[in-house]
Copies of this chain bind each other. A is one copy, B any other.
Amino acid sequence: MSHAFDRHDHGTCIASALSAAEAACAGRGMQLTPLRRRTLEILLESHVALGAYDVLARLEAEGFGSKPPVAYRALGFLVENGFAHRIEGLSAYVACARPGSPHDPSFLVCRSCRRVAEEEIQAPLAPEAEAEGFAIERTVVEAQGLCPACRGRA
Protein backbone atom coordinates (compact mmCIF):
# COMPACT_ATOMS: atom_id res chain seq x y z
CA MET A 1 0.00 0.00 0.00
CA SER A 2 1.27 3.41 -0.90
CA HIS A 3 1.19 6.46 1.32
CA ALA A 4 -0.39 8.91 -1.09
CA PHE A 5 -3.56 9.22 0.99
CA ASP A 6 -1.91 8.97 4.44
CA ARG A 7 -0.10 11.46 6.52
CA HIS A 8 3.51 10.40 6.05
CA ASP A 9 7.07 11.66 5.97
CA HIS A 10 7.05 12.92 2.45
CA GLY A 11 10.66 14.00 2.63
CA THR A 12 11.67 10.37 2.58
CA CYS A 13 9.53 9.80 -0.55
CA ILE A 14 11.49 12.54 -2.29
CA ALA A 15 14.90 11.55 -1.02
CA SER A 16 14.56 7.87 -1.78
CA ALA A 17 13.14 8.50 -5.24
CA LEU A 18 15.95 10.87 -6.14
CA SER A 19 18.67 8.58 -4.90
CA ALA A 20 17.10 5.60 -6.66
CA ALA A 21 17.02 7.59 -9.90
CA GLU A 22 20.62 8.62 -9.50
CA ALA A 23 21.72 5.08 -8.81
CA ALA A 24 19.75 3.65 -11.73
CA CYS A 25 21.14 6.25 -14.13
CA ALA A 26 24.67 5.67 -13.01
CA GLY A 27 24.23 1.94 -13.36
CA ARG A 28 22.77 2.13 -16.85
CA GLY A 29 24.92 4.86 -18.30
CA MET A 30 21.98 7.28 -18.48
CA GLN A 31 22.35 10.92 -17.50
CA LEU A 32 20.09 12.46 -14.86
CA THR A 33 20.70 15.98 -16.19
CA PRO A 34 19.55 19.13 -14.36
CA LEU A 35 16.44 19.34 -16.52
CA ARG A 36 15.50 15.72 -15.93
CA ARG A 37 16.29 15.88 -12.26
CA ARG A 38 14.28 19.05 -11.80
CA THR A 39 11.35 17.52 -13.69
CA LEU A 40 11.41 14.55 -11.36
CA GLU A 41 11.58 16.86 -8.34
CA ILE A 42 8.53 18.74 -9.59
CA LEU A 43 6.57 15.50 -9.86
CA LEU A 44 7.83 14.43 -6.45
CA GLU A 45 6.57 17.55 -4.70
CA SER A 46 3.24 15.85 -4.20
CA HIS A 47 1.46 12.65 -5.06
CA VAL A 48 -0.74 14.59 -7.45
CA ALA A 49 -0.68 13.81 -11.19
CA LEU A 50 0.48 16.80 -13.26
CA GLY A 51 -0.20 17.48 -16.92
CA ALA A 52 2.76 17.96 -19.24
CA TYR A 53 1.89 21.63 -19.62
CA ASP A 54 1.76 22.12 -15.84
CA VAL A 55 5.25 20.70 -15.65
CA LEU A 56 6.33 22.84 -18.57
CA ALA A 57 5.10 26.02 -16.87
CA ARG A 58 7.13 25.16 -13.78
CA LEU A 59 10.23 24.46 -15.83
CA GLU A 60 9.88 27.65 -17.81
CA ALA A 61 9.53 29.68 -14.60
CA GLU A 62 12.85 28.23 -13.49
CA GLY A 63 14.77 29.17 -16.61
CA PHE A 64 14.41 26.05 -18.75
CA GLY A 65 12.96 26.07 -22.24
CA SER A 66 9.34 27.03 -22.73
CA LYS A 67 8.25 24.80 -25.58
CA PRO A 68 6.32 21.50 -25.25
CA PRO A 69 9.13 19.17 -26.34
CA VAL A 70 11.20 20.28 -23.36
CA ALA A 71 8.63 18.85 -20.95
CA TYR A 72 7.60 15.89 -23.09
CA ARG A 73 11.17 14.73 -23.54
CA ALA A 74 12.02 14.99 -19.88
CA LEU A 75 8.81 13.19 -18.93
CA GLY A 76 9.45 10.57 -21.58
CA PHE A 77 12.89 9.91 -20.14
CA LEU A 78 11.49 9.52 -16.63
CA VAL A 79 8.71 7.21 -17.79
CA GLU A 80 10.98 5.05 -19.95
CA ASN A 81 13.34 4.60 -17.06
CA GLY A 82 10.63 3.86 -14.54
CA PHE A 83 11.07 7.00 -12.42
CA ALA A 84 7.60 8.27 -13.31
CA HIS A 85 4.36 6.88 -14.73
CA ARG A 86 1.78 8.20 -17.10
CA ILE A 87 -1.84 8.12 -15.88
CA GLU A 88 -3.78 7.37 -19.06
CA GLY A 89 -7.15 8.35 -17.67
CA LEU A 90 -5.88 11.86 -16.92
CA SER A 91 -3.26 12.32 -19.64
CA ALA A 92 -0.99 13.22 -16.73
CA TYR A 93 2.21 12.13 -15.04
CA VAL A 94 3.13 11.10 -11.52
CA ALA A 95 6.42 10.18 -9.83
CA CYS A 96 6.96 6.50 -9.23
CA ALA A 97 6.30 5.44 -5.66
CA ARG A 98 8.50 2.33 -5.90
CA PRO A 99 11.61 3.55 -7.64
CA GLY A 100 14.39 1.12 -8.21
CA SER A 101 12.55 -2.14 -8.63
CA PRO A 102 10.95 -2.83 -12.00
CA HIS A 103 7.21 -3.28 -11.65
CA ASP A 104 3.91 -3.22 -13.49
CA PRO A 105 2.17 -0.41 -11.69
CA SER A 106 -1.51 0.03 -10.93
CA PHE A 107 -3.15 3.11 -9.49
CA LEU A 108 -5.96 4.50 -7.38
CA VAL A 109 -6.66 7.89 -8.94
CA CYS A 110 -8.84 10.50 -7.20
CA ARG A 111 -10.98 12.33 -9.72
CA SER A 112 -11.35 15.29 -7.39
CA CYS A 113 -7.80 16.13 -6.21
CA ARG A 114 -5.87 14.01 -8.77
CA ARG A 115 -3.84 12.40 -6.01
CA VAL A 116 -2.52 8.99 -7.06
CA ALA A 117 -1.68 5.94 -4.95
CA GLU A 118 0.47 3.34 -6.63
CA GLU A 119 -0.30 -0.29 -5.87
CA GLU A 120 1.31 -3.59 -6.74
CA ILE A 121 -1.00 -6.30 -8.05
CA GLN A 122 -0.87 -9.43 -10.17
CA ALA A 123 -1.34 -8.92 -13.91
CA PRO A 124 -5.12 -9.20 -14.07
CA LEU A 125 -5.56 -10.35 -17.68
CA ALA A 126 -2.83 -12.97 -17.87
CA PRO A 127 -5.13 -16.03 -18.04
CA GLU A 128 -7.36 -14.47 -20.69
CA ALA A 129 -4.35 -13.43 -22.77
CA GLU A 130 -2.93 -16.93 -22.49
CA ALA A 131 -6.18 -18.46 -23.68
CA GLU A 132 -6.34 -16.19 -26.73
CA GLY A 133 -2.67 -16.28 -27.68
CA PHE A 134 -2.26 -12.60 -26.94
CA ALA A 135 1.20 -11.39 -25.84
CA ILE A 136 0.82 -8.76 -23.13
CA GLU A 137 3.57 -6.16 -23.03
CA ARG A 138 2.12 -3.71 -20.54
CA THR A 139 -1.12 -3.47 -18.57
CA VAL A 140 -2.83 -0.23 -17.63
CA VAL A 141 -4.78 -0.56 -14.37
CA GLU A 142 -6.30 2.66 -13.07
CA ALA A 143 -9.16 2.75 -10.58
CA GLN A 144 -10.83 6.13 -10.66
CA GLY A 145 -12.88 7.36 -7.73
CA LEU A 146 -12.65 9.43 -4.57
CA CYS A 147 -9.83 9.37 -2.06
CA PRO A 148 -10.60 9.35 1.68
CA ALA A 149 -10.09 13.11 2.03
CA CYS A 150 -12.30 13.98 -0.94
CA ARG A 151 -15.02 11.58 0.22
CA GLY A 152 -15.08 13.46 3.50
CA ARG A 153 -15.47 16.81 1.74
CA ALA A 154 -18.45 15.54 -0.24
Contacts and interface: CB of A to CB of B under 8 A. Distances in A.
Interface of A: 1, 5-6, 88-89, 106, 108, 110-111, 117, 119, 121-125, 128-129, 131-148, 151
A124 B141 CA distance: 8
Nearest to A119: B128
Given A89-B88, A141-B140, A146-B137, A125 B132 contact: no
Main DSSP-derived SS at the A contact region: mixed
A108 B121 contact: no
Contacts of A141: 124-125, 139-141
Nearest to A2: B132
A22 to B, nearest CB: 29
